[in-house]
């Protein structure tokens, strides 16, 4: 069966450049299509809330491509969370952890915790590997 993405193609380099410039992109995960932005760019994240008409009390999930990047997102990665990550990532598991100081409050709706996951979808992983200046 031919998929729509196979017909139109996916340009993960272009998506990465859009994210770097503060823009938004739609990307697939193994569960849904997501609207993505640089989670460390407050203005870009504000645009997600505007475009989706998402209530400000509804926090976002931060997607990363590897556990190596977790320290950019969380302030503490305890052993029990590492065990879950090793068993279920990449995959549709979101782990809630204490956020790092670099994560804008808008991402977490003002909470001290942030949801993090590593999706299993190959396009999402390729797109998330694109470097973003932090």
Higher pLDDT, 6 or 117: 117
Confidence check: pLDDT of 54 > 90? yes
Confidence check: pLDDT of 97 > 70? yes
pLDDT class for 9, splitting at 50, 70, 90? low
Of 2-6, 46-50, 63-67, 85-89, the poorest mean pLDDT is in 2-6
Average pLDDT, the chain: 90
Confidence check: pLDDT of 45 > 60? yes
Residue-level pLDDT at 71: 93
Report domain extents, the chain.
Answer: 4-128
Residue-level pLDDT at 132: 65
- Secondary structure, 3-state, the chain: CCCHHHHHCCCHHHHHHHHHCCCCEEEECCCCEEEECCCCCHHHHHHHHHHHCCCCCCCCEEECCCHHHHHHCECCCCHHHHHHHHHHCCCCCCEEEEECCCCCHHHHCCCCEEEEECCCCHHHHHHHCCCCCC
* CATH for the stretch 4-128: 3.90.870.10
Residue-level pLDDT at 96: 99
């Amino acid at each position: 069966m031919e998929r729509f993405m196979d017909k139109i193609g996916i340009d993960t380099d272009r998506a990465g450049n859009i994210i770097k410039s503060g823009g938004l992109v739609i990307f697939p995960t193994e569960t849904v299509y997501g609207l993505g932005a640089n989670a460390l760019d407050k203005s870009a994240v504000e645009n997600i809330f505007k475009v989706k008409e998402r209530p400000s009390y509804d926090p976002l999930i931060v997607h990363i491509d590897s556990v190596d990047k977790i320290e950019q997102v969380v302030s503490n990665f305890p052993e029990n969370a590492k065990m879950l990550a090793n068993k279920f990532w990449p995959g549709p598991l979101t782990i809630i952890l204490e956020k790092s100081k670099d994560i804008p409050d808008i991402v977490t709706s003002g909470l001290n915790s942030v949801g993090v996951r590593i999706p299993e979808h190959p396009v999402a992983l390729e797109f998330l590997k694109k470097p973003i200046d932090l």
